[in-house]
Chains A and B, each alone.
Chain A
Amino acid sequence: DAGITQSPRHKVTETGTPVTLRCHQTENHRYMYWYRQDPGHGLRLIHYSYGVKDTDKGEVSDGYSVSRSKTEDFLLTLESATSSQTSVYFCAISVGGSNQPQHFGDGTRLSIL
């Protein structure tokens, strides 16, 4: 167990509203990631972080922002949610380096109506 907690686990909201998802880890790992999972696409990287206040974009970052003010917390924000952002969102950490295997949280199922 890599000690990753995602919250909320489920959320339904309306188009145009802001949404923030939280990823919390208990082991002070440096590297953290946000992915979205959609049928037929596997997992696609949204943003990643390599330390406090150090973040960068992944392949599907449009419409998303992130913040990491503490080692243990990595927040994903949808500033103005759209229906195309309906998805399952996963947070992950890698232990020992960015090129090491990743450990995932249990996901947040987000529905935008």
Chain B
Amino acid sequence: TQLLEQSPQFLSIQEGENLTVYCNSSSVFSSLQWYRQEPGEGPVLLVTVVTGGEVKKLKRLTFQFGDARKDSSLHITAAQPGDTGLYLCAGIPTTDSWGKLQFGAGTQVVVTP
């Protein structure tokens, strides 16, 4: 059982549409990270959120950390084909003093022209 549940597992949209990916847990996290991974490559860090209620923006991407630090969302506005990829959330549970990351299973996003 994954500590972090991502939804949806797969998302296919047209260029210009908006999308939201969710990352949920029953555990509390000291921080949560979002990565994007393209075929044949390793995940690349997009953002880290550490404060409950925090909102961070990266161009057309908006990341939010839940008030209770148990969930997060990634919203993409006016998606472009270059946004295609596997989006992974990962977090460090507050119960882990060493700081090992727990990953969600990922959301595959496909943006077609």
A42 contacts B100, CB within 8 Å? no
Q: Are A44 and B45 CB-contacts (below 8 A) given A99-B30, A99-B92? A: no
B41 contacts A107, CB within 8 Å? yes
Q: Is B101 at the interface (CB under 8 A from chain A)? A: yes
A97 to B97, CA, bound (A): 12
Least distance between A90 CB and chain B CB atoms (Å):
5
Count of CB-CB pairs between chains A and B under 8 Å: 51
Least distance between B9 CB and chain A CB atoms (Å):
8
Q: Is B63 at the interface (CB under 8 A from chain A)? A: no
A98 contacts B99, CB within 8 Å? yes
A44 to B101, CA, bound (A): 9
A40 contacts B105, CB within 8 Å? yes
Q: Which of A70-113 contact B (CB under 8 A)?
A: 90, 92, 97-107
By secondary structure, the B interface counts as loop
A103 to B105, CA, bound (A): 18
Q: Which residues on A sit within 8 Å (CB–CB) of B45?
A: 101-103
A43 contacts B43, CB within 8 Å? yes
B103 contacts A106, CB within 8 Å? no
Least distance between A78 CB and chain B CB atoms (Å):
20
B48 contacts A58, CB within 8 Å? no
Contact among A40, A42, A92, A101 with B88 in the assembled complex (CB-CB below 8 Å): A42
Write the residues of chain A forming the contact surface with B, with a CB cutoff of 8 angstroms: 4, 35, 40-45, 48, 58, 90, 92, 97-107
Given A35-B103, A106-B42, output 17 extra A-B contacts at Cβ < 8 Å: A40-B105, A41-B2, A42-B6, A43-B43, A45-B101, A90-B43, A92-B42, A97-B99, A99-B30, A99-B31, A99-B92, A99-B99, A100-B99, A104-B43, A106-B40, A107-B40, A107-B41
Write the residues of chain B forming the contact surface with A, with a CB cutoff of 8 angstroms: 2, 4, 6, 9, 30-31, 33, 40-45, 48, 88, 90, 92, 98-101, 103-106
